Structure 1
């Protein structure tokens, strides 16, 4: 609101039903201050309603020159307040051409040009130049929206598992990879790549936590290391491999992000920066995680507990099916 009083044009685009709890008085204040406000895919007000299709982006762009994207929502949960430790999350700050690409994406989603099926939209995923203090780097903005035929972030993860030669670290809340990513993970592990997965030791969604634990037996079978973050709730979504590449954004490693939500990540290809991110993840593993090993897992998770985990896993699969079974990919140019 203060920015708007300085004649800055402020645009706020929020998900049509994940943010419905927002006080209407606040929205009224924004509009009265001259802020442009719009819902993405309003609940029960869109011509085509896809339950489960959410705007999961967390993006801000300033003057088309500076941008930030990651997993961080605008919420007190991401600050140390009243003695409560912030959730673990990350966002990537970019300048230059990468920020301009974020600006164009946000502008088009606001103006609904996003819904046009154009060749430019399909091909708009090349690497552009960015800058880190030590050297030039390459940044690639990636999006997932199955209805619009976009699966760039999923392909980035597939590329990571295929190209890695020595090591991969994935930090992921709600880690429930589908069959395609599981196959790629298993193949990478089989050729000797060390894979470390950091998941939450505590979760804000208990059914997701139980379903994740059901996946542990598959991870053990494929010699993939599991670490549970202990300090607070883990909400981050980033990965790195071989100290040369990293990705960060809103994409969770599960089928909801792959086939339902509208997601945005940024890939960075730069040894200096990727190595820095990898070292930070290793520090998190060392100082804030416990490793889950097969022997202790079966010792502390009896038959009944494993039944609950299986039930949670199958329930999430059913929920996903109910949310997405009727989704149709758009084939023709048009607005919604």
Structure 2
């Protein structure tokens, strides 16, 4: 069952860690009753330590603090880091923690990839930014370009319910905080999740509906771009009917194979008028898009097989002209000043020998989720951690 779009919200775009971390840490420091936090990654660096200290201080003043991390993405976090929080009263949970096999992590698929914070059931943060120093410009050339939103208003009730539902098996006692539902602005919004049960295609469906209705412009900025045929077809069809379709993709990827796979799709899109720009200033980690003058989305979902078919994801979908215009101006500046355009002439060089490779790779990768489904499934659950302190401990090796 789809969630309804709700009016009366205020949504503010936050670009990179420089804008995100001060706002989310300030909100946590002002929490009175409850903090629910979900993330894929926490590093034991200056950002992770600031998060740790902020959560400890909140727990010490009586705030209920529930943290859910992914057992793969945060698998290298030291036990000492976690113990400092749990000793202070923070409830720390890992999603599908698994032991290592010959030193390698085995819980590769079906990850908790959502990035959500809910403060006192009245303020929420949703996006793609983890708690690690590589989301700050001073990290160097590999600092990530990324986005999140800060939200107040009735839609926060949807975010709070989603986070509470994920954590319900480990919430003792269950959360009884009632969300604040008074209007705070003029934005219409809805939270859309992707899971492996009842909502396996919900985020993709929202994209498809928006692309089909597009009349004059589409901009998609996405870090890991390898969607299925339906989404590719709608992008191409939009360009064919005169919509200006622009893709901003990785030109300086954090993983070499990301650009290689995305480029397998370029010919298909370029020949029908889709514009492709590769962002080359730093690795692109964003997952944002806009259509026409009103529709936007910001969240954790990439447009690749992992996000669209395996991971737990969450995106906020937004209808607001002012927000749309702000995002449009930012992405237009990004594409014109910090990207390299990709031309069809450049992509068709050597196409005669690459065509069979493209065909084989596309269909193999599109079948990847099904292949992954043949592997032994990990138990998709949260495990509350009370780690034994070890100087070089591993989160998954603690005493749970």
After TM superposition, is the score higher than 0.5? yes
Q: What residue in structure 2 maps to residue 118 of structure 1?
A: none
- Output aligned runs, 1:1-336, within 5 Å: 1-43=56-98, 52-84=109-141, 86-112=143-169, 131-132=184-185, 136-299=186-349, 313=362, 316-317=365-366, 319-325=368-374
The answer as to whether partners of 1:174 and 1:253 remain within 8 angstroms in 2 is yes
Residues 271-317 of structure 1 deviation map (CA, whole Å, 9 limit, x = unaligned): 11111111111111111111101113345x67777787777656644
Once residues 219 and 180 of structure 1 are traced to their aligned partners in structure 2, the CA distance between those partners, rounded to angstroms, is 13
Shift of 1:225: 0.6
Q: What residue in structure 2 maps to residue 120 of structure 1?
A: none
Q: RMSD across aligned C-alpha pairs, in angstroms?
A: 2.9
Once residues 290 and 184 of structure 1 are traced to their aligned partners in structure 2, the CA distance between those partners, rounded to angstroms, is 24
Instruction: Please give the TM-score of this superposition, normalised by the length of structure 2.
Output: 0.70
Uncovered stretches (5+) of structure 2, i.e. residues with no partner:
1-55, 100-105, 172-180, 384-400
Once residues 29 and 152 of structure 1 are traced to their aligned partners in structure 2, the CA distance between those partners, rounded to angstroms, is 38
Residues 217-256 of structure 1 deviation map (CA, whole Å, 9 limit, x = unaligned): 1111222110000110000001001121100101111222
Instruction: Indicate the SS of the match to 2:242.
Output: coil
Once residues 63 and 312 of structure 1 are traced to their aligned partners in structure 2, the CA distance between those partners, rounded to angstroms, is 47
Instruction: Indicate the SS of the match to 1:180.
Output: helix
Q: What residue in structure 2 maps to residue 117 of structure 1?
A: none
Instruction: Please give the TM-score of this superposition, normalised by the length of structure 1.
Output: 0.83
Once residues 147 and 326 of structure 1 are traced to their aligned partners in structure 2, the CA distance between those partners, rounded to angstroms, is 18
The answer as to whether partners of 1:55 and 1:263 remain within 8 angstroms in 2 is yes
Once residues 70 and 158 of structure 1 are traced to their aligned partners in structure 2, the CA distance between those partners, rounded to angstroms, is 20
Q: What residue in structure 2 maps to residue 331 of structure 1?
A: none
Aligned pairs, how many? 310
The answer as to whether partners of 1:208 and 1:316 remain within 8 angstroms in 2 is no
The answer as to whether partners of 1:142 and 1:153 remain within 8 angstroms in 2 is yes
Once residues 254 and 243 of structure 1 are traced to their aligned partners in structure 2, the CA distance between those partners, rounded to angstroms, is 26
